[in-house]
Structures are given as C-alpha cells and as structure tokens.
Chain A
Amino acid sequence: MYKLSIDNLNELFALIGQDSKVYAPIERAGQVEFFLWSVEEKVRLDALNTVKSAKGFFFPQTEVLYKTKLEGKKIEIEAAEDAEEPTVYFGVRACDVKSFDVLDKVFLSEPVDSYYAAKRKHGTIVSMACSKPADTCFCGLFGIDATSPAGDVVTWIVGDTLYWDSKTEKGEALTVKVKELLVDADDVEVKKQQTEVKEMIAKAPLHDLSLEGFGGDALDELFNSPKWEALSSACLGCGTCTFVCPTCQCYDIRDYDSGHGVQKFRCWDSCMYSDFTMMAHGNNRTTQLQRFRQRFMHKLVYFPANNDGDFSCVGCGRCLQKCPQSLNIVKVIKALGGKKND
C-alpha cells in the first residue's frame, strides 16, 4: 500500500493525464458528475454519488454506432471507430464498480458488444472507499463492502491522505506510472477507518433489508402481486430512475439526420416510457403499472433468473434520492419481499 497527500491530487491527475484521459467526480453548475479532468476543474472527491452513475464510461448516454448516407438507390455505410484511448476513471464508489459486473453480463455476453468492450478494455478503474455513507445507501444488501471496493486500484481518503492499493495488472501498471508521487504506507489508518465506517453502515437506516422472496423462482407470484397498483400509482412515467441507475442498460437505436448523412446512434432508453414497447401495430405494455412492474421485475427476478441469482441493483440509492415522487426499489423490496423486511 502507498499514500500521497491529497494536496498532490492535481499532480497525480496530471501525471496520469500525460498519456491517458482522466475522469473524476467534478462539480459543474452545482452538480457533481464524472467529467474529463483538467487543472481548472473543481474535483469533488468528498461527494458520495455523482448524479449520473459511472455506467456512462462504457455505455455513454449517446454514442454513434455508424454513419450512413442514402443517395438515390445507393447507400454508404461507415462504422464508427473503436475507442482505443487509455482512460483512467478516478474516484468510483464500490456500488458503481459493482455495476460494471452487471453491465459486463449484458454487454460482454455473446454476441459481445464491441463498443462497450473496447472502452472497458482501455479503462482503468481507480475506486474510492466510502467514509460517510448516506441514509439512502444499501449496497450491503448486494454483498458490496463500501469500505473495500473492487477496482484496478483501490483508494481511501483518511484525513488529508490518500491511500493507494493496486489490485490488478492494470492497477499495477498505473501504480508504476505514478510511483514518483507515492510513498510506502501501512494500512493501519485504512483499517481503522474501515472499522468505523462498517459500524456506521450497520446502523444505517436501510441496513436490514432482505431479498428473501426475490430471484428467478418467484416470477409468477411477484408478477401477479396486487401490490403493484399502489406501488406504481404515483409514477410519472419519467425516466429519472432509469437514467441515474448504474445498472439500467436498456437502449434505443435511432437515426440522427445531420443534413449530410445519417448518424445511427444508440442512446439510453427507459422501460418507463410509453413508447418503449410500441411498434407499428400495437403495444404490449399499455399502462404505467405494467411498465413500472417491468423495471423492478427485471432487476429483482428476470435478471437473477438469467445470471446465477445476481441482482441487477447495487444499492447506490440514486433512485431514492432522485425520483420526483419518491418511489424506488427499496419500497418495492419492502412491499413485495419476505417478512424479514417488516
């Protein structure tokens, strides 16, 4: 394990930035998001969750798949190039790092999504342990340890010191690159912080949720539950929950006519939208209840059924914070889950 003073963060980013792009939590117009770092930006490592999650690193909100042009009877087509620039993502929280596992199961399963795969391959994740979880955090429910995130390099901030521990080959390579800024350290302070934070988590308001009753086997019973009506009745049908969610990965493929050619792009889509399943001759989900149910059934039942019981939620709490009417997955888990949630 190594350490450096957080006063030297800009030097660290500059050194990494010599031959990589660096993304970090940066505040602009009052909101913290992962943006491309430059020395003028206001880095906010104290912010717990960015508004949007980290999924956009590898699955951006919009991305051009190919360009094409129709002229009379002729069509030209030109594929977008793969992202091949090495990129370091700094300050990713444990929940967001875990979300990459969920996204990998979708995008890296056959047939591999080459757009996602290229960005993933060239990305190095520097995660950051949480020292002050929010009331809305419940990552522990999914086996995530907020004090010990996954990632290529894991960091902890204790006081004004950043602790640095590489975990993978990519992490080693990054460590070698920034070695001149790092000094050897023991893990005493880190261990102490971890113990303190774990105590905080154990007392957090959502620490005792249970997923009993969810998973692939519960499909019929949960689908037909009469509780969906009350759970979904206030839903506005907006896409806030899906767009801030680190694991929601549904997308649309659309045409953007620039006037001199068409860009075929994909963009985030939301199963909460009425046109999500709309086709020329009809729609198989016509009510908001059906759409609301689909989102949560997918996360808590369908996804686990196809992925060895893993859930498509990481407990980041963004939907708890951002739903305009305060509907969220925890309410669903409490309402439909086993008795342990009472």
Chain B
Amino acid sequence: MQKLRDEIVAKCKALLEDGTVDRVIGWEKGLFDYDCSPATFTKENIDELVYNEYCGSNLSKYLVKESKAEGNVAVLLKPCDTYSLNELLLEHRVKKEKIFVLGIPCGGMKDEKGELLMKCNTCKGNEHKIADEVMDSDLTVPEARDRFELVEKLDGMTPEERFAFWQGELSKCIRCNACRNVCPACTCLKCVFDNHASGIDSKANADSFEEKMFHIIRAFHVAGRCTDCGECSRVCPQGIPLHLFNRKYIKEINELYGEYQAGETEDSRPPLANFTKEDAEPSVIYEKGRD
C-alpha cells in the first residue's frame, strides 16, 4: 500500500501545484499504527498524508464544512465513501464544483485490533460511484457477506426477545452524539435533539425511553437516505450495533418499494421522497407493522 500512498501523494501534489485545488482532505498518521485521523493538507504538509489499512473513516461529511470554506478541495474517497457524497449532492449539502474527488482503491479497513471493520464485512464493492479520477491499484475489497443476516436474525425473534436485545444495547448509550455527528446523512443545520424549542432536546437519557427515542428517531430520519456506510457503529464508544437499525429500514424499503441503494447515483429518486403508482398501499404497511 506504500506504493499506492506515494502515488496518491504525487497526484495530490500535482492537483495542488496546478491550482486545481487549494487543500486535500485525507488521513494523517496517529500516535500508533492504527489510529489515523482525518486531516487537511496543503502544499506545505502534503507529504504527511498517509493511506493504509487504518483509514476507515469516511471523509465525505467534511465536504459540508469544506463547501462553505474558500477555495477548492480534493477529497480521498474509498468506493463505499462515494455513496455518501452522492447522497450529499442529491440533498444539496455540498458544492460539487468546489470538490475534486480522488477515488482511491480499498482492500478492506481494520480496527485497532487489526480485525476487519464491521462495515467492511458487507462491502459494497470496488466501484467508485462518483470520482473525478480513480487511482490505479491491484487492491481489491474483501468478499462481502449478506448484510441482512443479523437483521433477519432479529426479525426472527419474538417481540420480547427483540426488545430485550435493543434494551440491552441502547442502555449502554451515553448520548455522546458521535453517531449523529459522524453520519453523512445527519446534516440538519440544527438537530431536533439540540433544539430547545423542540421540547425533546437532551444531553443525557433521563429514562430508558429517552435512550431508545434518540436512536429510533435518528434511524427514521435517515431511512431511505442512509447509504449503510457503517460509520455510526464504527465510532460508537459503546459498541452499539446502530447500523442494524438502518439496515432494518433498508430491508423494509427494498421489500416495499423495490431494491434501492441510497447514493448509488447523484440524481436518484429516494423511494420515501418519491411517488409511483406501484407504491405499497398504506394498508400493506399498516399490516406489516403489526408483525
């Protein structure tokens, strides 16, 4: 991967030199081998850019902030990260004309223990869905498992078992908002949970209802827009499998409205924001909800 990293740096240098971009968003080395951080580079420090198997973070959300800053920016996106950018473009959250997307190949990303990240187990493939240029490499993504495996397991539980599972997981939540703040689909200017006027703003779970409410509302809000990038579960300090909420909705949407992958293209019509005569009747949804 060192060779690929060197090629990426050379490409970024060229982009900075010829004035295509003013900054590059990539990763820098951390204190150890496994804790690379997102970082912004200019001509002065571009040599500090790293790319290795510990660059799991999805950089697309930083483009929201970067779009408001002066100048143009190049961003390094792995294949799965490009879905998030498409979704952000679809929702007019970023300005494409200010962004140069450098697609970078991925061979699967690892956590601090050296194990494949959860999100990489159900990899979306080698293809960049949006890129101005894709770096050449013989890297190839890990083989994907069925991403609905665990959702189906949960669906197979009795309501009491399922409730106990989620109660156990969500009671670990410390309301740090890491899942929300990292989520490329969470780009509201003011989150309802930060808005005092909403009446449901809070910083701590006052009771067990609140710990569930936060996550379920969040999952509802990103339903149909979540690309299943897996950042929520990657960053959760408590290891709550938050992506299972999102996958449950994805599975339901697929079944009700036909297969849909958010972020596949930058001009798709999200099923929950689109009307077709083939849409499921409300009664179907009502009946399904009674299961």
Q: Residues of A with Cβ closer than 8 Å to B? A: 28-31, 33, 51-52, 61-62, 135, 205-206, 230, 233-234, 236-240, 242-244, 252, 254, 256, 263, 265, 267-270, 273-275, 320-322, 324-328, 330-331, 334
Contact = CB atoms under 8 A, between A and B. Distances in A.
Contacts of B239: 29-31
Nearest to B179: A238
B139 to A, nearest CB: 22
Contacts of B197: none
Given A29-B169, A52-B174, A326-B37, A331 B31 contact: yes
B31 A325 contact: no
Contacts of A236: 178, 181-182
Contacts of B202: 254, 267
Contacts of B235: 238, 240, 324
Given A29-B172, A51-B238, A233 B35 contact: no
B40 to A, nearest CB: 5
Given A230-B39, A267-B203, A273-B203, A324 B194 contact: no
A275 B30 CA distance: 29
A197 to B, nearest CB: 20
Nearest to A52: B174
B194 A274 contact: yes
Contacts of A254: 202-203
A233 B234 contact: no
A244 B30 CA distance: 20
Nearest to B183: A236
A241 to B, nearest CB: 8
* Contact size range, B: 35 or more
Nearest to A236: B181
Nearest to B35: A326
B57 interface: yes
Interface string B25-50: 00000111001111110000000000
Contact of A268 (B32, B35, B196, B203): B203
A233 B40 CA distance: 7
A238 B181 contact: yes
A51 B237 contact: yes
Interface in B219-247: 231, 234-235, 237-239
Given A62-B204, A238-B178, A240-B176, A275 B194 contact: yes
Contact of B174 (A243, A263, A328): A243
